[in-house]
Structure 1
Amino acid sequence: MKQTDLREQWEARINDYRASGLTAEKWCAENEVTTRQLWYWLRKFRDSKESSVRPPQWVPVNVHQPQENTESLLLVKVGAAVIEIRPGYNPVLLSDVVRTLQALC
């Protein structure tokens, strides 16, 4: 018997066993197979189903970028450098950066 034929035969047997509602021992006795064979094939089909699970797929995500309020944006140019200043800026830090840029120019 070919491997594919044996696999198909056991797939049918397992479906029959599951649909029967019988215990494994009773079903095996009625179908002239050992419980060891039944457990082997149950495990084999369970393992093959787990290995045939499709890999995860990427899901597209749309990220909404809030629009900037450019009306409150101030650009300061010192030499080739351009500094964007937004509401809530640190004036001491800005002063230090401007002084440093002036020293480099």
Structure 2
Amino acid sequence: MTKIEYRNEWKARVDSFKSSGMGVTAWCKANDVNKERFKYWLYKRNTEPVAKKSKQWIAIETAPVELNKQDNMLIVNVGRASIQIKLPPTS
């Protein structure tokens, strides 16, 4: 069994438990699943960061930008972070 298949199997078990309305002990006994192993996967499935599940780009609106023509540098500030981009010379 591959790692992905193994994870999918445990996801299906957790989903089955959640839709059963049973308690952990009763569900594990009824499904012949090790209770401690199940509790590990239940915790793991409930604590997965949302970022792992969905990644996407978002559009942002920017204020007008003034370039420092002497340095040919674009500086982007986000909070305390700063990104400096050296631009090619303009003709």
TM-score by length of 1: 0.48
Question: Corresponding residue for 1:48?
Answer: 48
SS at match of 2:22: coil
Does residue 17 of structure 1 match 2:13? no
Unaligned runs of 5+ in 1: 63-105
Kindly indicate which of the two structures has a greater share of residues assigned to helix.
1
Which structure has the larger Rg? 1
The residue identity in structure 2 corresponding to 1:11 is: K
Question: Corresponding residue for 2:7?
Answer: 7
Runs of at least 4 residues of structure 1 off by over 6 A? Answer: none
The residue identity in structure 2 corresponding to 1:4 is: I
Question: Corresponding residue for 1:30?
Answer: 30
Q: Deviations over 1:5-62 (max 9, x none)?
A: 1111111111100000000000000001122111111122233334526589574267
Aligned length: 63
The residue identity in structure 2 corresponding to 1:6 is: Y
In 1, Cα distance between equivalents of 2:59 and 2:47: 25
In 1, Cα distance between equivalents of 2:22 and 2:14: 12
Instruction: Give the alignment of 1:16-95 within 5 angstroms.
Output: 16-50=16-50, 52=52, 54=55, 59-60=60-61
In 2, Cα distance between equivalents of 1:42 and 1:57: 31
Alignment root-mean-square deviation, CA? 2.7
Unaligned runs of 5+ in 2: 64-91
The residue identity in structure 1 corresponding to 2:61 is: P
In 1, Cα distance between equivalents of 2:58 and 2:20: 37
